Chain A
C-alpha cells in the first residue's frame, strides 16, 4: 500500500518544492518531536517524514513520538532545555504561553510566500498572535452533532434546523425511554464543546471570542441567557446520568447500545463508533441548529499545528519541512480516510470520499459565515479554560448553583486577565 502511493507522492511533492522558493540541498540533523502517539496518526506521520527524507537524502532526520497527553506538559521542558527543530502543538491561545516566552519562532516569512498565503488563508487567523504567524497547521476537523440515524427513522424524526425542533426531537427521544445526548465530562473539555456551541448560537462568534479574551463579565445577561438555554436541556434530563464519572470514550457505549441518540463531538468520534460495529447507515451528522435568529452560524474546528522552536538548530531544514507538510498533495495524502481521516488545510487539496469528511468540509467552507473557533480550551487562556470547564461540569450536575459558579468565574476572570 505504502509503496504504491509513495513514489508518485514523492514526485509530486518534489515538483511542489521546486515550484516554491529556491532551496539549496539540505544537510545536517533535523529533530522532529510529535504528539501523534495513536497508532494511525503515528504511522501517517512516520510515512510522511519518510517521504521528506527521500527528497532530502543528505538530511539526517530523527523523529521522537511522545504520548499525546504527556506531550502537553513535556513541551515546556523541551522547548527551553533541549529543543527539537520541529514540534507539533495546537493553534490559537494554546500557543500564547510559548509565544510570550519567545520559545516559538516567528514564521511570518513563510506566510508571505504565495504558496502558503493563498492556499492556507482560512487558518491564518488561528495561527496569528500579535500580528505574526507562529507555525503552520497540518490538519483540522469539524465538530457537530453525531446521531443514530436508525433510531431517528424508527421514531420518525428529522434533522432539526431550529432550536425548537432540536428540543422537540429530544423530547420525543426521551419519551421513547432513551437519553438524548451522551457525554463524558470527567476530563471537563467535552462540556467546553457544549458551551462553545450554545454560546456561539445564542450570542454569536464575536461575543464568544470577547468572553474568551476576558473582555466580558461572566455575570453578563448574555452569558446567563446561554446558560438558560443549556438549563432547558439539563432540566429535560437530556444528558446521560453520571456523565461526570466518564471519559469521552466511556460515554461511547451509550450511543453504540442505543441508550443515547446524539453525541456532540469532534469527527474523531466516528472511528471508534465504526469500530464498535455501527455502520454508516446507522450514524449520521448534522450541524448544531441556530438558537437566536439572525446570528451567523459559527463552528468549532480545532487545528493541529507544526512549530519551529526559537532555539532550534536547523531552522532552514525546519522551514522546508513546514512547506512540505502544508503542500497540497501531502495534505491530501495525510488527511485521507486511511491516514488521519480529517480535513486538509490547503485549499488546493482534495477531501477524501468519506461522508462525514465531505459533510464537514461543506459545512465549514460554506455554512459557517460567523467564523471558525478553535475550541474553548484553545481559545481561552489555560487557567480560564480550566476554571470555566469545571464550572460547566458543575452546572450540568447542579444547575441550581449557577449564580455561585458565575460569581466564581468572574473572580477568576479579574485575576487571570488583569
Chain B
C-alpha cells in the first residue's frame, strides 16, 4: 500500500485527538480489506487446513471419524506403485498440464491472424471467441457427439480417407487426448482474446524502428512483438495452468472418468472417492486433494514470485 505517499497531517502525537483519528490513515486500508480478508481466511485458508486434517482420518462423511495417521497417503503410494487409479490420475494430470499449454501458441497465432483491419473483422473475432462463451458442459456434449464412433462427424471425415472408425472416448489410449482437444477449443479462444488486447498495446514506433533496421517476418515477431506481449503471455500461462488443473467438468460430462477409469485426473478421482454416488471415503478424497494442492502450490509459488519480481523491477 502506498501509505507513505499520502500527506501526513502536520500535528504530532499526543495532541488530544483519539487513537483512531491519529492512526486513521494507517487503519483505513485494513478496514476496507477486512471483509475480503475474512472471507478468504474462512472459505479458502481454513478449508485448506481442514483438508490436511481430514486426510489423516478414515471417515465416511456420516459416522465417527477414525484417526489413521498417514495411512491414506500410504494407500495412495501403493496405488501409484501398482499403477492403479492414482497413478492414472497423476499421469493424466501431467498430460493435461503439458498439452493444455498448446492453447498459448495457438491463441497467439489466431490473434496475429485476426489483428488486421478488413471489413467485418469484428464478426470474425467474435466468431473465434465464441467457444469461450459457451459452457464447458455444452463443449463436452458437442465433442462427445463429434467423437461418437457410429454417427460422429470425426469418423465420417476420416472415413473419406479410408481410415477408422476409431472410438476416441472408448479407447483408453486416446481418451485423455480426446478430452484435452475438447478443452483446448475454448482455452485457445481465451488466449486469443488476451493476445488481441495485448497486440493493441504494441508500440507502433518500435515496429517502425525494427522495420528501418531491416527486421521482418519471424525476426520481427520473435525480437520485437513477442517481448512486448510478455504481460499477456504471463496471464495466458496462469489461466491455462489453472484451467488444466481444474479439468473436471469435461471429464465428468464426456466419460465419467472412463473407460474403466483411464481418463481420470486427480480432481475427478477425488470427487469419485469422496463425493460421488458410490464415494464415502472423505479422508482418502482429502488426501488426494492435498496432493493436488501441493502440485498447485508449486505453480502458485512461481506465479507469486514472478509477480513480486515484476513489481520490484517496476519501481
Contacts and interface: CB of A to CB of B under 8 A. Distances in A.
A245 B278 contact: no
Contacts of A73: 275-277
Interface stretch (B105-113, B128-136, B258-266, B295-303): B258-266
A274 interface: no
A47 interface: no
Contact of A397 (B149, B259, B276): B259
Interface stretch (B57-65, B205-213, B215-223): B57-65
Nearest to B144: A245
Contact of B256 (A186, A242, A382): A186
A244 interface: yes
A390 B62 contact: no
A341 to B, nearest CB: 24
A408 interface: yes
A80 interface: yes
Contact of A97 (B84, B272, B280): B280
B167 A383 contact: no
Contact of B63 (A69, A101, A391, A394): A101
B260 A101 contact: no
B192 interface: no
A372 to B, nearest CB: 23
Nearest to A80: B62
A9 to B, nearest CB: 35
A397 B62 contact: no
B255 interface: yes
A76 B261 contact: no
Interface in B261-315: 261, 272, 275-281
B170 A393 contact: no
Contacts of A80: 62
A187 B253 CA distance: 11
A97 B62 contact: yes
A244 B256 CA distance: 11
Contact of A72 (B148, B258, B260, B277): B277
Contacts of A242: 149-150, 167, 170
Nearest to A98: B62
A314 to B, nearest CB: 23
A100 interface: yes
Contacts of B279: 382-383, 386
B278 A393 contact: no
B261 A390 contact: yes
B29 to A, nearest CB: 38
Interface residues of B, number: 29
Contacts of A385: 278
A187 B257 CA distance: 10
A394 B258 CA distance: 9
B49 to A, nearest CB: 22
B62 A394 contact: no
A273 B61 CA distance: 39
B169 interface: yes
Contacts of B60: 97, 101
Contacts of A386: 272, 278-279
Contact of A383 (B82, B148, B259, B278): B278
A241 interface: yes
B142 to A, nearest CB: 15
A383 B278 CA distance: 6
B139 to A, nearest CB: 17
Interface string A371-394: 000000100001101100011011
A76 B61 contact: yes
Contacts of B256: 186-188
B148 A245 contact: yes
A411 B272 CA distance: 19
Contacts of A48: none
Contact of A186 (B61, B75, B147, B255): B255
Interface string B60-87: 1111000000000001000000101000
A383 B280 contact: yes
A396 to B, nearest CB: 9
B277 A393 contact: no
Contact of B259 (A244, A377, A382): A244
B278 A377 contact: yes
Max chain A C-beta neighbours (<10 A), residue from B148, B259, B280: B259
A245 B170 contact: yes
Contacts of A415: 75
Interface in A89-122: 97-98, 100-101, 103
B167 A241 contact: yes
Nearest to B152: A245
B258 A244 contact: yes
Contacts of B144: 245
A382 B149 contact: no
A383 B279 CA distance: 6
A245 B167 contact: yes
B221 to A, nearest CB: 42
A101 B258 CA distance: 31
Interface in A54-104: 69, 72-73, 76, 79-80, 97-98, 100-101, 103
A184 to B, nearest CB: 11
Nearest to B276: A73
A382 B277 contact: yes
A245 B260 contact: no
Nearest to B75: A415
B275 A397 contact: no
A324 B218 CA distance: 80
A391 B255 contact: no
A307 to B, nearest CB: 14
A101 B278 contact: no
Closest 10 CB pairs of A and B: A394-B260, A101-B62, A386-B278, A244-B259, A382-B278, A245-B170, A242-B167, A101-B63, A242-B149, A242-B170
Given A73-B275, A187-B256, A188-B256, 9 more contacts: A79-B62, A97-B60, A186-B255, A244-B260, A245-B149, A245-B167, A383-B279, A397-B170, A397-B260
27 contacts: A72-B277, A73-B275, A79-B62, A98-B62, A100-B63, A101-B60, A101-B63, A103-B62, A186-B255, A186-B256, A187-B256, A242-B170, A244-B170, A245-B144, A245-B147, A245-B170, A245-B255, A245-B259, A382-B277, A382-B278, A382-B279, A382-B280, A383-B278, A394-B259, A394-B260, A397-B170, A408-B82
